Amino acid sequence: MAGQKRVLLLCGDYVEDYEVMVPFQALLAYGLSVDAVCPGKKAGDICRTAIHDLQGHQTYSESRGHNFALNATFNEIDATKYDGLVIPGGRAPEYLAVDDSVVALVKKFEDFKKPIASICHGQLILAAADVVKGRKCTAYPSLKPALIAAGARWVEPDTLAYCTSDGNLITGATYDGHPEFIRLFINALGAKISGSGKRILFLCGDYMEDYEVMVPFQSLHALDCLVDAVCPGKKAGETCPTAVHDFEGDQTYSEKPGHNFTLNADFESVNPSGYDGLVIPGGRAPEYLALNDKVIQVVKEFMASNKPVASICHGQQILSAANVLKGKKCTAYPAVKLNVVLAGATWLEPEPIHRCFTDGNLVTGAAWPGHPEFVAQFMVLLGLSVSF
């Protein structure tokens, strides 16, 4: 793509799960090129991730997240070839901040005054690289002493979604602020967003796949869409536990506990006529959501109105139960093929697993590695675009 923006994503082991994957896949969906690197590792290697969540204790909890695959080699990076830098949080910045090669790389981006976006604990690296002195800066609250010592003009985050910018520097408190964090970053790169303001409904449930709800949710929110996440039997402010489904060499995916996802609307008040599109995440939630009469009715109304519908992985179990796939071309996680075929759809093999397809108003994907295609194809149906 002529003039395609290139972004570097600075990773490490036990980087926060959302804070690495959401910006990575969102930026790819918007048409940017993103290279994810880690010192001492090569393209194709993985970084372990950490799930940080607030569960009523005095600080966040941690558990194992997905395995994040790098797509570039750290030692081959030339900072002059990139338009911006993203630094995720988690525990990785603790050791990356004392890596001379990392510090030197960040200093180059600062010397060139290229946009640098850092979130949560990522600001430890900024402090080590001496790029926060005299600059407005926020972060996860526990970083306040270190940032003040580094000469930053500390800005207290009034919520954990708070972000701020100062020149080429964008900082955020936690992944709760990803929509604004990503929006500020792409704006710094010269983005023009067209078609914003769309209203999108997410059908959620307990143990939906962690990435498959949060990545599209925050990617669309970042483009100024109004995104409502609902779950049968729950209200705005309540949470759904999520599941981390990953591919770790077994004959099927593994499962680990994911983040708790906070709903922001009431299921009982949902009226499909008030929305422009529908997203159905995968995971284990669709198994039981497919038995809910109102869920089925909502899906049927979106499909009958020919509004954009995007469903991924096991989400197609709900489409099958709603009897809306007859005559459609459709993919899904391969284990859901039987549901799709029995529902009268033409099965499209997801080879490779990130392959997604659009048929009329319907976008289907096989699994979360396909999010960039999945979100991009849904954006086309919504009339939503990002240009530079």
Residue type, 345: A
DSSP H helical segments within 166-291, as ranges?
Answer: 178-188, 210-221, 285-289
Residue matched to tokens 């402090």? 127
* Residue among 123, 117, 133 nearest 82 (CA): 117
The yes-or-no answer on residue 231 being catalytic is no
Residue matched to tokens 């980087």? 15
Give the chain's length.
Answer: 388
Q: Which of 11, 120, 204, 356 is catalytic?
A: 120
Contact 273, 298 (CB under 8 A): no
The yes-or-no answer on residue 163 being catalytic is no
Q: If 0-12 CB within 10 Å is exposed, 13-18 middle and 19+ buried, where does residue 281 land?
A: buried
Q: Which of 121, 178, 221, 371 is catalytic?
A: 121
The yes-or-no answer on residue 204 being catalytic is no
Contact 16, 53 (CB under 8 A): no
Give the separation between CA 376 and CA 340, rounded to whole angstroms.
Answer: 23
Give the separation between CA 137 and CA 176, rounded to whole angstroms.
Answer: 17
Give the separation between CA 78 and CA 283, rounded to whole angstroms.
Answer: 38
Residue matched to tokens 């969102």? 26
Q: Which of 314, 330, 356, 371 is catalytic?
A: 314
The yes-or-no answer on residue 313 being catalytic is yes
Q: Which of 137, 225, 313, 356 is catalytic?
A: 313
Give the separation between CA 43 and CA 77, rounded to whole angstroms.
Answer: 12
DSSP state string for 127-169 = HHTT--TTSEE--SGGGHHHHHHTT-EE---SSTT-EEEETTE
Backbone angles phi, psi at 102, to 5 degrees: -70, -50
Residue type, 362: L
Contact 320, 327 (CB under 8 A): no
Residue matched to tokens 């500390």? 154
Q: If 0-12 CB within 10 Å is exposed, 13-18 middle and 19+ buried, where does residue 387 land?
A: exposed
Contact 140, 180 (CB under 8 A): no
- Residue 214, helix vs strand vs coil: helix
Catalytic positions, written as ranges: 120-121, 313-314
